[in-house]
A = this chain, B = another copy of it.
Amino acid sequence: MEPTTTTVLAAANVPAEPVMRRFRMTIAYDGTAYNGWQRQPEPALTVQREIEKAAGSVVSHPVTVCGSSRTDQGVHALGQVAVMQSTTYLEPEVLRRAINSRLPADILIRTLDIAPTHFDVFMPVSKRYRFLIWNDRDRPVMNRQYVYHYYQPLDLAAMQAACERFVGTFDYEAFRGRTDDRDNTVRTIFRCSVHRSRGNSPLVIFSVEGSGFLYHMVRTMVGTVLEIGRGHWKPERISDIIASKDRQQAGPTAPAQGLCLQWIRY
């Protein structure tokens, strides 16, 4: 008896029907040129759309990429996490390289693997953001798209004392941007600190790790800590601002370009 196509495929261990697999990715991008992560109506350039275009052209079917954090226009990432589904037979590392070769120079898939069955990209345990401040009388020349230039002298000890007041579980309503309509504004901050990169360097690094963040929350935290750093407010005021639940009490929203999503843990 002649072997049928089905029996040949079964013998070769190739499924007769395309199998949908779910891939998990860690993504780095320089957000300077993008209108944020989230896909928007054309002609807005977004990181999500660039990855969907590149991945779709590799696997030859339309692809939807779901990211964990909707980073804003101009915000950078070293460790955005996203998932996508595809029927491709390509091995994950081959798929990663193929997508990278079609992505622009300012986006890179750093890792790509098969997502574990119960992996939920929207349920991270913790996220870490970093904000870079160029604290010098002169504007920065190199790396200027990754820092916020703040020329007033800063009291780092006062800023650190302010940062420590963010640690805990609080209602962060006062640090929420106006266009955020999420009901639950309670978040847990695990760590928050600020330091000068070394000695007399103009580079000041603010880091915060938490269960999640509201819209503009990190940038408002930074803007508020800078008010304390320049001596306008005392560090204790952080607790009063949180208690007030009033956005008017907090400092200004620091600009996007200093912000970078460092990692997301599950």
Smallest CB gap from A100: residue in B: B138
Residue A236 at the chain B interface, CB threshold 8 Å: no
Q: How far, in Å, is A259 (CB) from chain B's closest CB?
A: 13
Copy number in this complex? 2
Q: Complex: how many Å from CA A138 to CA B105?
A: 11
Whether B100 pairs with A141 at a CB distance below 8 angstroms is no
Interface segment among A37-45, A58-66, A106-114, A119-127: the answer is A106-114
Tell me the interface secondary structure of chain A in the complex: mixed
Residue A76 at the chain B interface, CB threshold 8 Å: yes
**Residues 77-111 of A at the B interface (beta carbon under 8 Å):** 78, 100, 105-108, 110
Q: Which residue from B28, B106, B108, B142 sits with its C-beta under 8 Å from A28? A: B142
Whether B146 pairs with A107 at a CB distance below 8 angstroms is no
The residues of B that contact A70 with a CB separation of less than 8 Å are: none
A residues near B (Cβ < 8 Å) are 28-30, 76, 78, 100, 105-108, 110, 138-139, 141-144, 146
